[in-house]
Structures are given as C-alpha cells and as structure tokens.
Amino acid sequence: MSVLESIALLGATLLVVGTVFPAISRNPTVALTLQAAGIALIGSGGALVLFGAPLIGAEFRSSLDPALGIDGLTGFFLATLALVAVPALIFSRDYLAGVKRSRALVALCGLFLISLVGVVVARDPSLFLASWELMTLVPATAILVRRSDATVRRAVYVYLAVTHLGGVGVWICVLALAHYGALDNPAALAAHGSALQAFIIAAAIVGFGTKAGLMPLHSWLPRAHPVAPSHISALMSGVMIKVALYGLIRVLFEWAAPPPLWVGFVILGLGLLSSLGGVLYALMQRDLKRLLAFSSIENVGIVALGLGASILFSSQGDTTWAAIAFAAALLHIVNHAVFKTLLFLVAGAFERAAGSLDLDQIGGLLRRMPWTGGAFLVGSMAIAGVPPLNGFASEWLTLQALIHVALGPSLGIGVAGAVGAAALAATAALAVFCFVKVVGLVLLGPARRVEVETAVEAPPATRGALVFLAGCCVALGAIPGLLIPSLMELAPQPRTLANGPGLAIPGTGSLPSPWLLFGLLALTGLLWRLRGSKRSAPVPSWACGQRIEPSLSWRSAGFTKPLRLTLEAVFRPQREIVAIREHGQLQSLRYRSEIPHLFDTLLYRPIQRGALRGALIARRLQSGSVRAYAAYLLALLLALLVLARIGAIG
Amino acid sequence: MNALAGAIQLIGGLALAPLLPGSIQALKARLQGRRGPSPLQPYRELRRLWGKSLVDPQPTTLLYRLAPCLVAAAMILSLFLVPIAGLSPNWPLGNDAIVLVGLFAFARFALAASSWDTGSGFGLMGSSRDLTLSVFAEALLVLALILAALPVGSTDLVAMSSAANGSAAWSQPAHWCAAGAFGLVVLFETGRQPIDNPDTHLELTMIHEGPLLEYAGRDLALLQWSAAARHWIILVLAAELYLPHWGGFGARLACLVGGVALICVTLAFTETAQAKMRILRAPALLAGGCLLALVGLISWLVS
C-alpha cells in the first residue's frame, strides 16, 4: 500500500470514527476534531493526486461490485471539499453550543461529509447512486432535526420532491451508462449511435442539473438552503451543488464524450439563464440566507457558461481554449465554494449576534464585529467579482473564454459566445449591485435594531475559521495561475500552458493578479499617507437639515428600485396600497409589495396543478372493492396474453 | 518610444486629466453664450480642496474614509493599462481590456459602499442609479471590446489599438458599429448628458455627483481627480480603439490628441443641444447600443 493510499484510508477511518463518536460521548469537540482531521487528510490526498501523484485505488467499472478510487478530477473535488469543510466544522463547534440535539447534528454533519466524499470517490454505479441518495437525504434530516415547524417541513418536502423527481435522471443516466459498459470504456457508447448518447446526456442534464440548481430546475434550492443550520447550508451551497456538477462533468466530458454541438448550446443557455436569473432574484431578496441561495444559482450558472464554452471550443477543434474554459469552470467551482461557505458561516454568526437575517433590520455590524464583519466584506467583494480577489480571477477567465468563442469563425457559435459574454458582464455588474446592498445593509450605516448595539464578536475559533476562508479568497485571487496548469490537465484533451502566479493566457492582455493586488494595496497606502490625518470634524450626514431617523433610512427595496422599474416586465412586481379613510379623511396607509418568483407561478404551479388533477382521475380507479381489483388483474393478464400472442412482447 | 508612451500614460493621466472636464465645461459655456470658467478651473478646485479640512459624518466606519483612496488607486492602476499611440511599456500589470472593466467595477463598489456607510439618501440615490445603469453599460462595454478584438483575436489593448491603425479597419461595418456602441459607453462612464448631468447638484437628477456629496477636503479632491481620470481613460481608449489614426508613433500621437479633442468638442455640443433624458429611459438607450454591437458582430462573422 502506498503512502498516499494510507493517508486517504487513515482520513476515511478518522471521518467514520468522528461520525459515530457522538453516539458514545457527549463532547462534540472530539467528534468534530476527528471529522476535521479525517476530511483534511482525505483532501490532502486528493490535492496530491491533483498535482501529479499517481492515481489511487480502482478505475471506473460498469459492474456493480463496489470500488473506490481517486483520480485528478476526484482529487480536485476532495481538496475543495476539505478546504471548506474544515472551517465549517470548526465553526460548528461554537455554533452548536447550547443547541438542542447538537449531538445528532454533529453526527449528521459527519455523515453528510461521508456521502459527499462517497459520490466523488465511487468507482462503480452502486456506490455512486447510494452515496448520491445519502447526500440528498442527510441534509434534509439535519434541517428537520434542528427545526420542524410547518414552513420548514414544507421546504424540506419541496426539496425532497424536486430533487427526487429530477434525480430520476441521474439513475437513468448512470444505469444506462453502466448497462452499455460506458463507465470504463467510453468508446462503447459510440457504437450504439447518437440517439442513445443524446438520451443519456439529456437525462444527465435534468438529473444533475436539478441537484446543481440550474434554472429552471432550481426551485428547491432557495427554499432548502436558508432553513438549514448555517454550517450545513454552507456545505450544501459550497460543496453539494458542486458535487452535482462533478457528475455532469463526468458524463459530458468523460463517459458520453465527445458531446455533440447542441449540448454546448444547451449548457451555455442554461448557464446564461441561471446566472442572470439567479442574480436578479438574489438582488430582490430581503432575507440574507435566501439571497445567498439565489446567488449560488448565479454562480452555478457561471460555471455552466465555462463548461458550455469548453464544449463549443472542442466542437471547433480548438483544444487549447477548450482546456482553458474547462479550467475556468473548475476554478470558479473552488472559488465559489470558498466564498459561499464564508458568507453562509458569517450569516450564521450574524443571526446569533443580531437575532435576525432580515436585511432591513440589521445595519452597522462592522463596528461591533470587526473580524467577522471584515471577513464578510472580503467574501462579498470576492463574490461580487471585483479585483484583486478570487471571484474576479475565475470570472475573468470565463469571460475571456466566452469572448474567444465570440471571435470564432462560425456565425451561430460566435453570436452565442457574444451573448454569453454580455450576459456574464451584466451578471458581474448585478453581483456588484447585490453585494454592495448586502454589505451596506448588514455591515455599514446606523444600527437598525437594539440587538446590534450589544452584539459581541464571535468566539476566537469561529473567528479563526472565518479569517482563514477570507485569506483563501485573497490567496486564490493573487495566485490563480499556480492552479491553472493542473486544472487544464483534467480537461478531456489536456493541454499545458506555461504560467506564473498570474494568468498569462495567449490571446489576452494577461491578468497579473499578484501585481494587481500589490498595486492596489501600495497605491491605497500611498494615497492614505498623502491624504494625511488632518483633523476631521464630526458631523451628522446631510439630509437637508433633518435628522436621519430610522424611518428615513434606506432599505433594500429602495436601493433596488431603479432596476425594478427598469426591468418591470421581467420581475412583474405586485403592489398593494390600501388607504383607510374615515369621514373623507385619510387615517392610515397600508403598503405591501412583493416580487413573485416567476418560475414558481408560471412553471411549477401549472405542473403541480396538472399533477394533482391527474391524481384525482387516478383515484377513481381506487374504488376499494376487491372485485374491481380482481377485474384489473384479469384485464392486465389478458392484455399481456394478447400482446404476447401478436408478438409485441416476449 | 516605449518610455515616452509610459511617461504620457502616467504623467498625462495624473496631470492632464483635470484639463478634459475643464475644457468641456469652458467650451460648453462659450456655446451657451456665457463666459464661463477657465479650462484650468478643475486645478484650482483641487488646490482649494487640498488645503481644506476633512469632514467625518457620523456614524461611519473606516471604509468610508478609505473609499476615496481605493477609488483613486483603481484609477491610477487603470492609467497603466491604456496604451498611448499604440504603445505601452512592459509594466507588470499587462494591458488587458477586461482587467480595466474590473478596476472600474472595483471603484464603483468602493464608492457605493461609502454611500451606504453615511446612510444619506442622496448618496444612495446616486449609487443605486449608477449601479442600475452599470448593468447595461458593462454588457455594452464588453460587446464593444469584443468588436475591437475581432481583427486580432486578443483582448490585449496594445494589439487592439494596432488593429485599429490605418484605414483597413474602417472598411468593416463592425468597426463603425463598435464606434457607435462605444460612444454610448463614453456618455455613461464620463457622466455626461443625456445620461447624467455633471453640472447639477439637484438630488432628483444626479447620478455620479450623489455619492460625493458628504466628502470634503482631500477626500473630495481625490474623488474629483478620479472623475477626471475616468474621463482621461475612457477618452484615450475611445481615440485609441475606435477613432481613426495612421502611421508611426508620432503621427498616432497627434491623432490621439486630435481624437481626444474631437470627443471633448462633441461632448460639449451634445450637452448644449441635448437635454438630459429620464433616468429610466437610459437603460433602453444602452440596450440599443448592445443590439448595434451584436449587428456589428454578425456582419463580421458572415463576411
């Protein structure tokens, strides 16, 4: 057994021991430490494989004998998982202190990690599908263990219903691939013609796309993510939806490869819809965790844009740019995992400190919680895609890929690339809009709640975990170039590219990210010195001479109003103003405004209504009479006999 | 040559930038039959502000006080990216067009965050409008940059500028569309009519002036210089990529000066002739620019 295998096995053992540990001990610290050590070891094993160590364990097989293994792509996802799971576990120790049933939550968190690791290391269909189902069910259980009021039960119900209906696609796709022996021999599928390949790819897009939260299959995501405990939300948004993308990548780029051209257009289109739609709805949210959930849809969309661009490049034979676009998608996966985990964890800390996640009712937390707030600011800037942080690096690379799709010779592909590039640019601008709003309403300005005045900074361990994640945002933004060669090696047609710490890609003006970071810091410092520490006079902010009362302060709805008015046709906001008059005099006004989620009202509700109507019709068959059931059996038997007689079956 | 271009990039950007808004204002006053301020007025403003004391609205955080430095730092870095007459010394910052877009977004983020910090309605009104329009403007900017990148297949600004050199580029309809689309970007980024009115401090109409309202002294000086630098960067970029220029370095430098002057005159004329449009109409204008750019791209791809 090699050293690498021993590391991975030791990690797996520690993770399992950490998961069952709460059954024998009340102390969560030991269990969480074991889990963190285990996942860190597994992740470092994965990282070693990613950076060139030999593969561990078995290859993919189409038979149902369980097998495990780690290759480059698996290693990448394991490393990403470990990078965010360790801080999330450290965070959860303080977060769960004093919470009812915290032992169960600790155990479930470990089980969730095992299922996530299981999906990416599974090398056969049975283990893959078992881990896949476990990955869906465990967070649902964790949500219900923590809270079980009616709204939460409803959210979990929708989550399970949608992911299982969509998840059928995963079963169909994986079992069909196994049936035709395509898991270990991708060429096997080609022999059966393009119709089968198209069917399998469509099943994969529906199945994995539902779990990844690609619009319009995302309906469960903004319901389930906000109600989970913060560290579970962080793992769901940061890692679970990425593991769904892992499945999609395996199918599109390995098992059913090479995908035909239309797949590139479909993935690009889904990415465009998800990125723009996700960020537009995120912008209109008032609840911080719900906003973060919608922003996850946006970021999955950005990854899909990269994957779509990669398919379009390979169909044109441009393997270098195909590999670059593929690497851009993977880079965005790890970047999003880091900052989304950070933001969800901080949201949990804020909920503890301020007692609310309603954006309109927090305000001014940066003064009370400088460390947590500072980490949140870094994470927000990273997710908004402003340089020099990591979000900008991967969005820059994805945008460059789309621009180079647009420069290509073919008309259809070129226009698709240009539309994708414009949509990504608009998405980036909307993300700035969205996260400036979040930063402003949560961290800055006057406190809007009494609890904020007495909020206390998070405990040191939590603080350390958050600062570590913020540091990752800066580091991944400064040296993305060190990752890119390894990520390009994972593309179906690997290409190498000489690269320094920045991104020196041919056909671009290059993104020398370390210099950008250094330049911004140095110039800001220089200007700060120049500005000097002249005495400044404290004054109230200017509001035409009035005091800024809480009722005058700006809220989420006011800040986003220009955009809501501009895109009224898209959002279709509903307003209701009720004036209560007595004796012809206005007594009071009641105002309510809402932005309906159009996918729910226009897409899901009609389907739901149709399904219920179908169920009503089907219920008529269920008369409860034994004679009727005997007649059904007889009819079925006769029908089968007739079919066998005419040769349709058997 | 490279050293000269680098010197113009830096010294020109730092020192000459305030001349652009100053001369536009002076020319506009003449066109409107007023004597108006001298083109050097922005320099006097900056000198006056530099000597003044600061104001610290309560309650604010460090972010509010850092914002002017962050905005100005992003603008100074942007100066290094834009080539002068098709040349740029090998600064370690590269010359990528999309990095420039990112630095502008960084400045926008910092300024909008500062207006949240004061909580003042005027700043927030300005930033929310600015951010709304930026959604459309950024898409338009990227499309216009794609059109300029078509002949060379690269988003390197130096290469793009060389591709626009000579008359060959103008035989392509795509280049004309790109010039038109970028014209709208110029209007938005410099905050000129019909999208924004730089002369007004009337809260109901202002966009870019709003977030500056609380600042005083050196902070305000830095922000006003940044607004001037934004004029410089966008106008030089427009002249380098989307206006005609020929020949070697010297000739192109003359073309650059002429091009920037031409845009200044055009802006002064537009501001005199054209009233400001309703803010909610501006996105439609910018989206129209996006369509124009897409038409340009299609004309390139079919030919």
Instruction: Determine the distance in angstroms separating the CA of B33 from the nearest CA of chain A, rounded to an integer.
Output: 33
Cα A362 from Cα A344, distance rounded (Å):
16
Distance of CA A241 to the CA centre of its chain: 5
pLDDT value of residue A21: 80
> Do you find a cis peptide bond into B68, omega within 30 degrees of 0?
no
With cut-offs at 50, 70 and 90, classify the pLDDT of residue A187: confident
Test mutation, A381, A530, A566, chain B, max B CBs within 10 A: A566
- Residue B103: list chain A partners with CB under 8 A: 387
My answer on whether A461 and A395 are in the same domain is: yes
Please state the rounded mean pLDDT for residues A555-559: 87
A372-394 tens-digit pLDDT = 999 999 999 999 999 889 999 99
Helix (H) or strand (E) holding A409: none
Of these ranges, A19-33, A618-632, B11-25, B206-220, the one predicted with the greatest mean pLDDT is: B11-25
Question: Could you tell me if residue A21 is inside a domain?
Answer: no
pLDDT value of residue B100: 93
My answer on whether A311 and A437 are in the same domain is: yes
My answer on whether A283 and A414 are in the same domain is: yes
pLDDT averaged over chain A? 88
Question: Could you tell me if residue A275 is inside a domain?
Answer: yes
Number of H helices, E strands in chain A: 28, 5
My answer on whether A358 and A286 are in the same domain is: yes
- Residue B155: list chain A partners with CB under 8 A: 400, 403, 507-509
My answer on whether A629 and A489 are in the same domain is: no
Please state the rounded mean pLDDT for residues B67-90: 91
With cut-offs at 50, 70 and 90, classify the pLDDT of residue A431: very high
CB-based contact B94 A512, cutoff 8 Å: yes
pLDDT value of residue B201: 65
Question: Could you tell me if residue A254 is inside a domain?
Answer: no
- Residue A519: list chain B partners with CB under 8 A: 73, 77, 93
How many CB pairs lie under 8 A apart between chains A and B? 265
Q: What is the number of residues in chain A?
A: 650
Of A445, A475, A497, the domain-final residue: A497
Cα A274 from Cα A280, distance rounded (Å):
10
Closest partner residue to A396 among B102, B154, B219, by Cβ? B102
Question: Residues 2..41 of B with a Cβ closer than 8 Å to A: which?
Answer: none
Per-residue pLDDT at A20 exceeds 90: no
Question: Residues 446..475 of A with a Cβ closer than 8 Å to B: which?
Answer: 446
User: Range of B31's domain?
Assistant: 2-302
Distance of CA A560 to the CA centre of its chain: 24
Question: Residues 122..181 of B with a Cβ closer than 8 Å to A: which?
Answer: 122, 124, 127-129, 131-132, 134-143, 145-146, 149-150, 153-159
- Residue B73: list chain A partners with CB under 8 A: 519-520, 523-524, 527
My answer on whether A458 and A581 are in the same domain is: no
My answer on whether A422 and A322 are in the same domain is: yes
Helices B217-242 and A513-531 meet at what angle, rounded to 10? 140
My answer on whether A268 and A374 are in the same domain is: yes
pLDDT value of residue B40: 92
Cα A402 from Cα A507, distance rounded (Å):
12
Task: Say how many domains are in chain B.
Answer: 1
Cα A294 from Cα A284, distance rounded (Å):
10
CB-based contact A542 B217, cutoff 8 Å: no
Per-residue pLDDT at A190 exceeds 80: no
Minimum Cα–Cα distance from B56: chain A residue: A538
CB-based contact A387 B102, cutoff 8 Å: yes
CB A158 within 8 A of CB A224: yes
Instruction: Determine the distance in angstroms separating the CA of B217 from the nearest CA of chain A, rounded to an integer.
Output: 9
pLDDT value of residue A512: 87
Give yes or no for A650 touching B (CB within 8 A): no
With cut-offs at 50, 70 and 90, classify the pLDDT of residue A117: very high
Written as one letter, the residue type at A462 is T
pLDDT value of residue A249: 93
Minimum Cα–Cα distance from B105: chain A residue: A386
With cut-offs at 50, 70 and 90, classify the pLDDT of residue A534: low
pLDDT value of residue B260: 92
Give yes or no for A539 touching B (CB within 8 A): yes
User: Range of A639's domain?
Assistant: 607-645
- Residue A543: list chain B partners with CB under 8 A: 120-121
Closest partner residue to B156 among A385, A509, A515, by Cβ? A509
Question: Residues 67..126 of B with a Cβ closer than 8 Å to A: which?
Answer: 68-70, 72-74, 76-77, 81, 92-99, 101-103, 105-106, 108-109, 112-113, 115-122, 124
Give A107 or B166, the one with higher predicted confidence: A107
B1-29 tens-digit pLDDT = 888 888 888 888 899 999 999 999 999 99
My answer on whether A381 and A318 are in the same domain is: yes
With cut-offs at 50, 70 and 90, classify the pLDDT of residue A356: confident
Closest partner residue to B59 among A446, A508, A565, by Cβ? A446
Closest among B219, B59, B210, B212 to A443, alpha carbons compared: B59
> Is A111 buried (19+), middle (13-18) or exposed (0-12) by CB count in 10 A?
buried
Question: Residues 493..512 of A with a Cβ closer than 8 Å to B: which?
Answer: 502, 504, 506-512
With cut-offs at 50, 70 and 90, classify the pLDDT of residue A395: very high
The reply to whether ipTM tops 0.90 is: yes
Which tokens in the block code for residue A518? 């250094």
Distance of CA B257 to the CA centre of its chain: 16
DSSP 8-state assignment for residue B56: E
Question: Could you tell me if residue A375 is inside a domain?
Answer: yes
Residues whose CB is less than 8 angstroms from the CB of residue B189 and which lie 6 or more positions away in sequence, other chains included: B104, B137, B230, B234
Cβ atoms within 10 A of the Cβ of A633, count?
10
pLDDT value of residue B236: 93
Q: What percent of chain B has pLDDT over 90?
A: 43
Closest partner residue to A509 among B99, B115, B222, by Cβ? B99
CB-based contact A445 B150, cutoff 8 Å: no
CB-based contact A432 B134, cutoff 8 Å: yes
Cα B2 from Cα B249, distance rounded (Å):
10
> Do you find a cis peptide bond into B59, omega within 30 degrees of 0?
yes
A563-593 tens-digit pLDDT = 988 888 888 888 888 888 888 888 888 888 8
Closest among B283, B281, B278 to B136, alpha carbons compared: B283
Residue A499 Ramachandran class (φ > 0 left, ψ -120 to 50 alpha, else beta):
beta
Question: Could you tell me if residue A231 is inside a domain?
Answer: no
Helices A102-121 and A125-146 meet at what angle, rounded to 10? 160
Closest among B219, B238, B215 to B157, alpha carbons compared: B238
pTM above 0.90, yes or no: yes
B276-299 tens-digit pLDDT = 888 888 888 999 999 999 999 999
With cut-offs at 50, 70 and 90, classify the pLDDT of residue A263: very high
Task: Say how many domains are in chain A.
Answer: 3
CB A269 within 8 A of CB A306: no
My answer on whether A448 and A349 are in the same domain is: yes
Question: Residues 359..388 of A with a Cβ closer than 8 Å to B: which?
Answer: 364, 366-367, 377, 381, 384-387
Please state the rounded mean pLDDT for residues A204-209: 92
B236-283 tens-digit pLDDT = 999 999 988 888 888 888 988 999 999 999 999 998 888 888 888 888
Q: What is the DSSP string of B228-296?
A: HHHHHHHHHHHHHHHS-B-SSHHHHHHHHHHHHHHHHHHHHHHHHH-PPPPGGGHHHHHHHHHHHHHHH
Instruction: Determine the distance in angstroms separating the CA of B204 from the nearest CA of chain A, rounded to an integer.
Output: 13
Q: What is the DSSP string of A414-475?
A: HHHHHHHHHHHHHHHHHHHHHHHHHHHHHTSSS--SHHHHT--PPPHHHHHHHHHHHHHHHH
With cut-offs at 50, 70 and 90, classify the pLDDT of residue A456: confident
Q: What percent of chain A has pLDDT over 70?
A: 99
Helix/strand/coil (H/E/C) assignment for every residue in A505-556: CCCCCCECHHHHHHHHHHHHHHHHHHHCCCCEEEEECCCCCCCCCHHHCCCH
Per-residue pLDDT at A621 exceeds 70: yes
pLDDT value of residue B203: 63
- Residue B131: list chain A partners with CB under 8 A: 429, 432-433, 436, 563
pLDDT value of residue A517: 92
My answer on whether A577 and A633 are in the same domain is: no
Which tokens in the block code for residue A183? 């898991």
Closest among B129, B140, B143, B141 to B277, alpha carbons compared: B129
pLDDT value of residue A10: 87
Please state the rounded mean pLDDT for residues A596-613: 85
Please state the rounded mean pLDDT for residues A111-132: 92
Question: Could you tell me if residue A171 is inside a domain?
Answer: no
With cut-offs at 50, 70 and 90, classify the pLDDT of residue A202: very high
CB-based contact A432 B149, cutoff 8 Å: no
Question: Residues 206..235 of B with a Cβ closer than 8 Å to A: which?
Answer: 213-214, 217-219, 222
